[in-house]
Structure 1
Amino acid sequence: MSQFIMAGTSLLILFIIFVHALFYRATVLATPSCDGRRIHIRKLPRKFNTDILFKCSTVDPFSPNTCIHLRNSGLGPRTCNRSRSWYRTDHRFLEPFFHRRLLDYPCLVSDPSLADAVYLPYYAGLDALKFLHALEDDHEHYNRSVDHGKDLFDHLVRHQSEIWGRRDGHDHFLVMSRPAWDFSQSPGEYMWGTSFLEIPEFFNVSALTLESRSPAYQEHAVPYPTSFHPQNLFRLNRWISRARISSRPNLMLFAGSGGGVNAAPNIRQSIRNECTDRGDLCEIVDCSKEKCEHNPMKYIKPMLNSKFCLHPSSDTSTRRGVFDGIIAGCVPVFFENSTALSQYGWHLDEEDYKNFSVFIPKEDVVFGGLTLAKVLANIPLKKIAKMRERVLELVPRILYRRHGATVELTNIKDAFDLAIDGVLKKIKKRLGSI
């Protein structure tokens, strides 16, 4: 059954690509507002995108139900049959969803010579899984992660080479729905990750990743997709109103995994210990046995009931929970700048963090004995209310609205729109410096 569902999704994407191709040029040439914003979608063989979706049942051996998250063009299945805004979204499928949204972009051009930027519809994060999870008997992929991306580059320079050669790839961009560190393995080192971003031929390409390195020349971080994808302004405003009036009896919440009793001293362990001792002030949503992102109701309701959401880093600095908490109007508490402050400059203003978040150095908690409840309980209620209001003002900027949204909602820029604006500016700046 999953193969039929996924096949329908892939064919639908291909059909939409064909229909849009018929109207690219006429639409754009009649739209002066597209000056400096024209994008060409590079035609790639199916092995770089839809064929990967057709293999969804085997792409990740550790997630046997991967195919269901392809529903609704990558948003995943609805949380319930009546839901029109909430989905069981897996962030790994941001790539096909971004592709689907770009097909509705008003400034597409079929002629690459007219384009200010060229989008590569390559599902790099999904394709990387065959290298990341390859077993020893898989001789084609095991310890071959250095080859990730070489087929793509070979195609770009052999087919319509003038598109690549015009600006040596400086005007190309793609989406990679994993942290940049997963594509930063040094060639010859067989550790976690692939070497896609370390291939010199791709140094000119801009990559939209879920977490960027520092300094980030190639990539720029975009928000993790949450489970909330409204299709009209009414549903967006209704949800924000609900989050605004929520009573929030809990002082703080931690939703995540890690930090067990046998772990070495770390911020997650400190948070769990304090929350366990102060259950009257702190709630834990344990995600160690189930991916919470696949069951948003498990954590959204507790977030609505909490004043502050605690966001410690884990294997990587960033976490999807930051954006889930913002959607719920839960004031974020950060313990490292790299969790958000140094990442999402197109969507969250660095100068604005003090207005909607709290920063507590993790060293003060882990080794200094600082009590989180004491710090947060001392913040005046009026200040908390003001911070929460600012958090709610950020909601439209960090959510990905559903494709096919009403005109009323499309007039408000969401995470996708801001990512496109950002990458166009990045490419323009790069072209101006060469």
Structure 2
Amino acid sequence: MPSPLTPILLLLLLTTTATAATSQDSDLESDCTNRWIHIRHLPPEFNLDLLTNCSEYPLFDNFCPYISNHGLGQKTHNSSHSWYRTDPFMLELIFHRRMFEYPCLTSDPDLADAVYIPYYAGIDSLKYLFGPEVNSSFRHGLDFFHYLAHLDTPSIWNKNLGHDHFLVMARPAWDFSQPLSNDPPIFGTSFLELPEFYNVTALTFEARAYPWQEQAIPYPTSFHPPNLAFFESWLNRVRKSRRSTLMLFAGGGGISANPNVRRSIRLECDNVTNMNTNGTGYSKFCEFLDCSNGVCEHDPIKFMKPMLQSSFCLQPPGDTPTSRSTFDGILAGCIPVFFEELSVKRQYGWHLPESEYDEFSVFIQKEDVVFKGVRILDVLMSIPRSEVRRKREKVLEMIGRVMYRKHGSSLGLRSKKDAFDIAIEVTLQRIKSRKQQLADQR
């Protein structure tokens, strides 16, 4: 079997050279004020070489099938143009490829407003989380820092001591937040606990509440349209979809006897299944799609159709507060129902502004559901139809902001900001503000 790296490596190298040259030789200077980004050169041991071990972590997954198409994964079927079997943990590859299309790249770090580090931190963490170095997780990032600050061009790092650097870490921040003092170590690495990286902006799936350097960005879904026509075709389908189910829970868990919100949801869904829906406008009140053990993760056909047919998608916290399901549901025009504020409201402010949450979602306190007998059905049925329509229209507006379009997409689609564009734009603003603070302190 040929190495999956061969076409990826060639295309990445070619694209890097071509894009950087095009960016600097064009007439973009006026449009690139405060937007220049330098991509740091890294040895392949910190990114592409990590993909050669894609089948060596059985406790995690064999992620070899998801490397293709620069991290988008294989198409759901041969004739598909926009749908892929995307694994969210491949976002580092997706982001890396998209960076080469960024219009304001510079090969001169002294001209850059920000520096992107194409380090596959999440993939590199697998050897500490599931592999042979599980008892050395405190070392995650030390060799990488040594390269940045000492072996490469130290002046790039030392200019701002990392304040102008950013990277993508395709796992929740909790997975990189093990205290250095833990002995023996528990699950996770200590990358974000290393003082060496305190100044770097880390884009993660889920951020902790207190460290300033972390910012949550959307999980990638399976939808990556290549042009405006396919994007608008999907929006039209979502808008016209008949919502015959009131609420949908697509997920796992909830089988424990201990009280928790997922258990309460499953019990309520079972209890209302046979209730009379006459006069409600729905053919059923609740549908439960069992996605335990990752059975839905790489098969969007399995969960997207039920989401398209549902008015509300229940998004309870699981092992961590956030999940990819939130963004799958938004993609389907299914109004999200949240049960704790850390699930989204305190996470994705760049892409889903906190001031707009009431406009596109519903919030029910999980303790009210678990311990106070509040029925989700009653809350949702009490929302006027006119308000449901307004919320759905707002969800439709959000779709473009939370999707990652396909690399090489058409000019028309590139005119609309997607999740990548927004992440880059606000990262630049954050770094500019931070550098100004440092200048003022000096």
Bucket of the pairwise TM-score, normalised by the shorter protein: over 0.9
- Corresponding residue number in structure 2 for 1:185: 178
SS at match of 2:416: coil
- Corresponding residue number in structure 1 for 2:380: 376
Q: Describe how 1:198-217 pairs up with structure 2 within 5 A.
A: 198-217=193-212
1:46 counterpart = 2:41: no
Letter in 1 for 2:154: S
Structure 2: distance between partners of 1:363 and 1:98 = 37
1:12 counterpart = 2:16: no
Letter in 1 for 2:111: L
Q: Describe how 1:218-367 pairs up with structure 2 within 5 A.
A: 218-260=213-255, 262-279=256-273, 280-367=284-371
Deviation of the 1:233 alpha carbon: 0.8
Letter in 1 for 2:232: N
SS at match of 2:3: helix
Structure 2: distance between partners of 1:391 and 1:162 = 45
Contact 1:253 1:284 in 2 (8 A): yes
Deviation of the 1:178 alpha carbon: 0.5
Structure 2: distance between partners of 1:168 and 1:64 = 36
Deviation of the 1:289 alpha carbon: 3.5
Contact 2:361 2:391 in 1 (8 A): yes
Deviation of the 1:31 alpha carbon: 2.7
Structure 2: distance between partners of 1:269 and 1:257 = 10
Assess, with a 3 A threshold, how the Cα gap between structure 1 residues 34 and 328 changes in structure 2: closer, same or farther. Answer: same
TM-score, length basis structure 1: 0.96
Say what the alpha-carbon RMSD is for the aligned residues. 1.3
Contact 1:267 1:312 in 2 (8 A): yes
Deviation of the 1:94 alpha carbon: 0.2
Count of residue correspondences:
425
- Sequence identity (%): 52
Structure 1: distance between partners of 2:93 and 2:115 = 16
Deviation of the 1:9 alpha carbon: 2.4
Deviation of the 1:142 alpha carbon: 2.6
| TM-superposition CA deviations, 1:290-335 (whole Å, max 9, x none) | 3412001111000000000000001111111110000000000000
Letter in 2 for 1:255: A
TM-score, length basis structure 2: 0.94
| Contiguous gaps of at least 5 residues in structure 2 | 274-283
Structure 2: distance between partners of 1:216 and 1:392 = 32
| Contiguous gaps of at least 5 residues in structure 1 | none
Assess, with a 3 A threshold, how the Cα gap between structure 1 residues 289 and 211 changes in structure 2: closer, same or farther. Answer: closer
Structure 2: distance between partners of 1:7 and 1:370 = 56
Deviation of the 1:63 alpha carbon: 4.7
SS at match of 2:215: strand
Letter in 2 for 1:13: L
1:66 counterpart = 2:58: no
Structure 2: distance between partners of 1:278 and 1:184 = 41
Contact 2:5 2:48 in 1 (8 A): no
Contact 1:6 1:67 in 2 (8 A): no
- Corresponding residue number in structure 2 for 1:154: 146
| TM-superposition CA deviations, 1:248-307 (whole Å, max 9, x none) | 1100000111010x3311000000111122223111111114341200111100000000
1:385 counterpart = 2:389: yes
| TM-superposition CA deviations, 1:85-114 (whole Å, max 9, x none) | 011110100001100000000000000000
1:143 counterpart = 2:135: yes
Contact 2:55 2:61 in 1 (8 A): yes
SS at match of 1:143: helix
Structure 1: distance between partners of 2:367 and 2:405 = 37
SS at match of 2:78: coil
Contact 1:25 1:111 in 2 (8 A): no
Structure 2: distance between partners of 1:339 and 1:81 = 35
Structure 1: 4+ residue segments shifted above 4 A? none
